[in-house]
Structure 1
Amino acid sequence: MGIFSRLTDIVNSNINSILDRAEDPEKIIRMVIQEMEDTLVEVRSSAAKSIADQKDVERRLKKLDKAQADWEKKAELAISKGRDDLAKGALIEKAKVADMAAHLQEELSQLAEALTRNEEDVVKLEAKLREARAKKATIQARHKTASAQVRVKKNLYDGRIQDAFDRFDKVDARLDRIEAEAEAMDLGKTQTLAEEIAGLEADDDIEKELEALKAKASSGANDNKAAPKKKAASK
């Protein structure tokens, strides 16, 4: 069953109100557009028929106008021949043709009015159709945006991601406990006097060893520089 039942329903419709009441606006707007397009085809078909009928009536009127002129000529000929009886008969036929022409002229006027209404209906329908198509584009854009947001939020609040973060928290908590245990083992410990002196002695030994290595490296460098000179003297 269509959204609209008559042409006036479409022309007078409030598309926003229809969509506000709809459970599935995207589906409803497609149905609205389809019915508008179908109705537009019907109105244009009706207009085409009116145009064809109008042309047919105009052709018939031309024939009747010619027939009236012919009967009038025949009446004039009969009068010229002294046959008033024939002239009277010709005028009676002309009157009949004129009466038929009057009816056709009235029909032509009605067809012209119908065609004008059809043209107005087409203009109104096309305006409503443009409105509906614009609404469809807006709804589709909003639906696309909303769907993308839903996908993003589903990913953000996915249970698997939360489980991973929970596991990270557990690892952090375990590391905190291990570090706390290490710090707790050092609590209350201070170096004795002997340990401090031994540390100083160890520092002195390291300094002496460092100086010895520097002296050795410096001596080796000097020997390398002097060796070429002695070789040149022997020659």
Structure 2
Amino acid sequence: MSILDRLSRLLRANVNDLISRAEDPTKIIEQALLDMRDAYAQARSEVADSMAQLSKLEREQNTNTRLAQEYGEKAAEALKAGSEELAREALRRKKNYEDIAAGFSQQVATQSATVEELKTQLRALEGKIDEFQSKKELLQARAQTAKASQTLERMSGFDKSGSAMDAFEEMERRVAQQEDRAGAMRSLREENDLDAQLKNIGRDKAIDDELEKLKSQLGMGGSSSGGQQS
């Protein structure tokens, strides 16, 4: 599985988890970018490991190639010295090292292709991160705009809500009741004040009548001013 494939799976898993939890889109964007950077760091480490493995294989190939060459030279020296058996043994070792070197050569070719592919994927991932970073601010701005639009839609629909209208009507009814109650209490107070005034007037007249009656009995005349007749 390529680096980009694994990154894609990781991003889908993390983003889907955030979406399922109804996270803020800006958080999803930040998390996706963070995951991409983490994946890039991991990919760089894997590429470095692959390059180190390639270097090791190349060293093994070179070592076995050199040993094969050395034993070829030793076989020639042994043959010159008249030791055919020793030359034969040297040639067997030469062939053994050549076979090993050939095996490492195949591994080097395979590993070299793998390293180049990983480098290509790493560069592509780096480009994706740069592209995503450049778009992050725009995506966040769009998310904020969408959020504001949703808020405005909810506010514009508030006055169309039956429950909202019912609440306002109930408030208006209660205020009207309070106003009616206050008016009734004010009317009662004014009525009580008028009754008190009328009662006082009646009381004063009764006293005046009683005073005149007393004066008449005493032969003091009917003047309410209290003066004597001549």
**TM-score, normalization by structure 1:** 0.53
* Structure 1 counterpart of 2:35: 35
Q: Are 2:4 and 1:7 equivalent residues in the alignment?
A: yes
Given that residues 32 and 132 in structure 1 are in contact (C-alpha distance below 8 angstroms), is that contact kept between their aligned partners in structure 2? Answer: no
The alpha-carbon distance between structure 1 residues 42 and 90, as it changes in their structure 2 partners (threshold 3 A), is same
5+ residue gaps, structure 2:
156-230
* Structure 2 counterpart of 1:120: 120
Give the distance between the partners of 2:41 and 2:10, measured in 1 at CA. Answer: 19
The alpha-carbon distance between structure 1 residues 53 and 147, as it changes in their structure 2 partners (threshold 3 A), is same
Give the distance between the partners of 2:63 and 2:121, measured in 1 at CA. Answer: 33
* Amino acid across the alignment from 1:8: D
Query: Residues 78-117 of structure 1 correspond to what in structure 2 (within 5 A)?
Result: 78-117=78-117
> Number of residues paired by the alignment?
146
The alpha-carbon distance between structure 1 residues 31 and 14, as it changes in their structure 2 partners (threshold 3 A), is closer
Given that residues 57 and 108 in structure 1 are in contact (C-alpha distance below 8 angstroms), is that contact kept between their aligned partners in structure 2? Answer: yes
Q: Which has the higher contact order (CA 8 A, sep 6+)?
A: 1
Q: Are 2:63 and 1:56 equivalent residues in the alignment?
A: no
Shift of 1:143: 4.9
Tell me how large the CA RMSD over aligned residues is: 3.3
Give the distance between the partners of 2:11 and 2:57, measured in 1 at CA. Answer: 40
* Amino acid across the alignment from 1:140: Q
* Amino acid across the alignment from 1:61: Q
Give the distance between the partners of 2:138 and 2:11, measured in 1 at CA. Answer: 16
Given that residues 64 and 98 in structure 2 are in contact (C-alpha distance below 8 angstroms), is that contact kept between their aligned partners in structure 1? Answer: yes
Shift of 1:131: 2.9
| Percent pairwise identity | 27
Give the distance between the partners of 2:7 and 2:53, measured in 1 at CA. Answer: 27
**TM-score, normalization by structure 2:** 0.54
Give the distance between the partners of 1:63 and 1:13, measured in 2 at CA. Answer: 41
Secondary structure at the residue paired with 1:82? coil
The alpha-carbon distance between structure 1 residues 101 and 124, as it changes in their structure 2 partners (threshold 3 A), is same
Shift of 1:41: 1.1
* Structure 2 counterpart of 1:181: none
Give the distance between the partners of 2:81 and 2:73, measured in 1 at CA. Answer: 12
